[in-house]
Amino acid sequence: MRRGFCLFFILQLIYSCMVFSLTHRTYNWRGVNIEVWQGMVGVDRIEPIVGDGFVSEVPVDSMGEFEYLSDKYDLILNGTFFDKKWRIMGIIFKDKKPLVWPDVEKVFGRTAFGIVDGSFEVAPFDGWMILKFKFSTAEVLEFSVDGYNCLSDGLAIYDKRWGMWHGESGLLVKKGKVAAVIRNSYYPEDGEYIISFPKELEDLILAKKPIRVDLEWELATPWNRAEWFVVAGPMLLPVITWYKEGFNKKFYSRRTTRVFIGTRSGKDFVLGVVKYPGLSLKDLREFLIKIGLKKAVNLDGGSSTTFWWRGKVWPIASKSLTNFVGVKSGEEIVSMKD
């Protein structure tokens, strides 16, 4: 018995020293099966899937629709959260542009994951982006405003991707100029956006002077260096921050199917699905520590829990899905048993 036990861990060590690319293993933790995949950054391609037939406003009703992606990915898992109208509630950013851009108040202070400086990163998302507004009249710069894109920081920008503006008085900007003052709900059209109303502009607005608006923006660190990232949550490792990120105790303690992603070293990425009857976040965190993860974040689980693995689907989610994480193996795929 001891000999077989030692042999198993010797094989594990050999596997860990060799670059087998994407590996798959089924664990049994406290009576629950957990499917776990590990890939290598720079060897295997991992990325968010929005588009290629799946856009945030058009949910996937049949997992069979994954079939045409079989030449692109070996593994697909459901991604971040979305509401009852299939509007994605996390930020998805890829190729220097947002693929999904919701109300930042819903994701401010959450946790993001992605590829930063060639490594897999899990870190707080403390600011969607830093805005830099310049307001001028007759080519004379009146003043500028810098800050995080967050209403609680006194600065915000809404465009069509965010949906309806429900804030206090705002400025409608069209073709680089202030077009109107918005005092009620308003849905921006193409090419329009709304910004919070800086008090410094009150006199200029009352004087009805033409006001030009120049906007620059940049992502906050470390996400300004990201190849791509997705905002999800809550963080599970190195610390668990469910309360800080706005999740309630029921979400933390209930036993349900879960989806997670993390890393042991930054050079690898680990994805997993907790099967029925599931685990609490507390138990899931203990499992992640057991298998050696140093950083990890929770993804959308429960009734959204689904993965597509080399042509097989488990389970078919009980509702339509909107976004995913896809992995394409760069080399040979290896499967191991617990």
Give the Cα separation of 46 and 268 in Å (integer).
11
Residues 288 and 215 in one domain: no
pLDDT of residue 207: 84
pLDDT of residue 206: 84
Bridge partners (DSSP) of residue 90 are none
pLDDT of residue 5: 42
Residues 115 and 242 in one domain: yes
54: CB partners within 8 A, 6+ apart = 60, 65, 322, 323, 324
Residues 184 and 205 in one domain: yes
Residues 203 and 261 in one domain: no
Residues 213 and 259 in one domain: no
Give the Cα separation of 164 and 301 in Å (integer).
28
Taking alpha carbons only, the member of 253, 256, 271, 260 closest to residue 303 is 256
Residue 70 domain-assigned? yes
> Diameter of the chain by CA atoms?
87
φ/ψ region of 7 (left if φ > 0, alpha if ψ in -120 to 50, else beta) reads alpha
Give the Cα separation of 298 and 285 in Å (integer).
10
- Among 188, 219, 250, identify where a domain stops: 219
**Which of these ranges, 115-124, 174-183, 217-226, has the smallest mean pLDDT?**
217-226
Residues 328 and 228 in one domain: yes
pTM of the model: 0.74
Residues 91 and 163 in one domain: no
Residue 254 domain-assigned? yes
Residue 152 domain-assigned? yes
Structural domain for 143, as ranges: 129-219
Asked whether residue 56 carries a pLDDT value surpassing 80, the answer given is: no
pLDDT in tens, 214-260: 888 777 788 889 999 998 989 999 999 998 888 899 999 999 999 99
Residue 9 domain-assigned? no
Residues 117 and 228 in one domain: yes
Instruction: Tell me which residue has tokens 């799946």.
Output: 54
Give the Cα separation of 174 and 212 in Å (integer).
10
Instruction: Tell me which residue has tokens 């499917």.
Output: 35
pLDDT of residue 121: 97
- Among 204, 219, 234, identify where a domain stops: 219
Residues 237 and 88 in one domain: yes
Looking at the 3D structure of the chain, how many domains does it have? 2
Confidence of residue 332 (pLDDT cuts 50, 70, 90): low
Taking alpha carbons only, the member of 34, 24, 230 closest to residue 120 is 230
Contact call for residues 137 and 203 (beta carbons, < 8 A): no
Residues 75 and 141 in one domain: no
Confidence of residue 316 (pLDDT cuts 50, 70, 90): low
- Among 166, 196, 219, identify where a domain stops: 219
Residues 120 and 235 in one domain: yes
Residue 10 domain-assigned? no
pLDDT in tens, 121-145: 999 886 556 778 888 988 787 778 7
Q: Where does residue 72 rank: exposed (0-12), middle (13-18), buried (19+ CB within 10 A)?
A: middle
Residue 7 domain-assigned? no
131: CB partners within 8 A, 6+ apart = 145, 146, 147, 148, 149, 155, 157, 215, 216, 217
Q: What percent of the chain has pLDDT over 70?
A: 74
Residues 206 and 259 in one domain: no
Give the Cα separation of 110 and 242 in Å (integer).
9
Contact call for residues 189 and 175 (beta carbons, < 8 A): no
